[in-house]
Amino acid sequence: MSRDDELVRAALGAVKRAGAGEGEPDTLGARRRVLFPDFEEAWILAEKGGLIAVDKPAGVPSQAADPSWPDDVVTRLGRFLEARGEDGYLGVHQRLDRDTSGVLVFARDKAKNPALADQFEGRRVDKRYLACVRGWKGGAKTLRHRLAKVKGRVQPVGKGDRRGKRAVTHVEVAARRGDRALLALRIETGRTHQIRAQLAAVGCPVAGDAIYEGPAAPRLMLHAAALGLEGGPRFEAPTPRAFDAWLAGQDAVSLEDAGALDDALARAMQGRWGLGRAAEAPAPTTAFRLLNGEGEGVPGLAVDVYGEHLVAHLYGAEALRAEDGILDALAGLGFAGVYVKRRPRQANEIVDPTRCEIAPAGPVRGRAAPEEFEVRENGLRFPVRLGDGLSTGVFLDQRDARARVRAEAGGRRVLNLFAYTGPFSVAAAAGGAREVATVDVSAPALQRAREAFAANGLEGQRVVREDCFAYLKKLGRRGERFDLVIADPPTYATTKKTRWKSGKQWVGLAASCFAVAAPGAIVLLSSNDGRMSMGRFRRFVHEGAREAGVKLRQVKELPEPSDFPGSAPKRLWIRL
């Protein structure tokens, strides 16, 4: 069995034990602890001489982004050691980027710390990496640069730039297939993003590196292969099999390759540990995206978590051909059941979402969820229905935007247009909004919005069933103004009064939103139109501001949520 097989088996084996059976955990939090364990024994490479070496999976951070809810490898390994009845102390002297896999070494014995620190600080540790690139010319080279962070990313700067720090990387070619190469690298220095920035600077960014615009790959193709201590042990982490597949020409995971799909799901489970365990957070979250399709090198498949269940979104012919294998692999993760949505590739492709062959009402694997149940998002309660057509009742990619709305809503009059089931409205009301107007043309969606308000103890809100474009005109005539305006329309929509198509029509919609915004207001405009670039979206919004005669004080692009990498969202947070 290969090392990859061992790691995947370890990652998936634990979650399979979360399935129904004797001794099954009886709370969602307890089940999530089984599905998303603190650490896996198979990740430990060696424990000797007061040291522990681990093979950190890609997707696991070395340092927690949120100290109040740590999801980093140090915290997780410490908990694992404590669960074994041992001291959880770890002396930390190195880090790897979140999406870089490979060797990390920690001191278990505090007495080992000074000597280990001296070796790392004195650059006497032999650190070896592997990286996949395209277009490498020639053979061995030594890369010498001065690196500094410029405009948000690390890059070479001139000798006279005092921000620059010396970076030296020795490069050899370990394998080559056509224009693809596997590089073996030894670093003398240890700068942030050193290998990634230096390879990008010579025209060969690491495959899968979104920051440095590397070629397509199913993951960041950078691996800390070995680490040798002076006069001490040497630790090695075997090459992930994704590297060989990429060298052979596979830029993405084939859904018909069971091993590659298992690898991708294992990476997803490892990378979503923080969200998976957030069911037990003080303000719990129980719904999130587990796998984001093409953004994570798995085109044709996206997977969402709702409480105990999964929802698989299938796009395109390959996904449909591989459907049984995909669903079996998802069932093997250990969730209670799996629902499927067979989606069109293009948003303008018309399908009847109620057809059972498009979106079956029941699970295709495992047991059924209640027809309607609540998921949590930062403590808020949202009713969802997994078997009710293509949509469930909440768009998970807006989680961070809703948190921002909640934080800013206090004392404001809020207008939520194209509100659907009202998650933005619930967030605003929970944040202390003085008034929330929830507007949508769909009566069933608005009834669910009322239920969402009630579930959160926020009854008595203003809910309006009307065409949003017509309602904006009505508000303008009445002279009503709002302190926070939210518009998140679909890409295409047709009502009795309006035919909407995302694109140039955004000029008029933006103008109408600005026209009902009070001085100093915030306007959140969001588009899921994959055909429209952020540049075009911004131009349309600025044209709308000119048409409305308002000045935009700040236009900020909101980033993608951590569980939606590569989504290229178009969300503008605008202050007038």
The per-residue DSSP string of 480-528 comes to: --EEEEEE---SEEE-SS-EEETTTTHHHHHHHHHHTEEEEEEEEEEE-
Q: How far apart are CA 556 and CA 573, in angstroms?
A: 5
Dihedral over Cα of 209, 213, 215, 218: its sign: positive
Both structure tokens of 465: 């069933």
Q: Which strands form 435-440's sheet, in the order they lie side by side?
A: 462-465, 435-440, 413-417, 482-487, 517-527, 570-575, 554-557
Q: How far apart are CA 545 and CA 515, in angstroms?
A: 9
Q: Which of 481, 488, 476 shows the shortest CA–CA distance to 427?
A: 488
Dihedral over Cα of 474, 475, 476, 478: its sign: positive
| Catalytic one of 4, 55, 71, 97 | 97
How long, in residues, is the chain?
Answer: 576
Spacing of C-alpha 13 from chain mean position: 23
Q: Which strands form 309-315's sheet, in the order they lie side by side?
A: 287-292, 301-306, 309-315, 337-343, 365-366
DSSP 298: -
Computed over its alpha carbons, how large is the radius of gyration of the chain? 26
Residue located via tokens 């602890």: 33
Cα distances (Å, whole numbers) of residue 117 to 91, 107, 120: 9, 10, 5
Backbone angles phi and psi of 411, in degrees to 5: 75, 0
Q: Which of 530, 468, 543 shows the shortest CA–CA distance to 504?
A: 543
Q: How far apart are CA 194 and CA 169, in angstroms?
A: 8
Within 13 Å, how many C-alpha atoms sit on residue 348's CB side?
9
Query: One-letter amino acid identity for 250?
Result: Q
Give catalytic status of residue 263 as yes or no.
no
Query: One-letter amino acid identity for 219?
Result: R
DSSP-based helix, strand, coil % in the chain, nearest 5: 30, 30, 40
Q: How far apart are CA 413 and CA 560, in angstroms?
A: 26
Residue located via tokens 């047709």: 494
Q: Which residues are catalytic?
A: 97
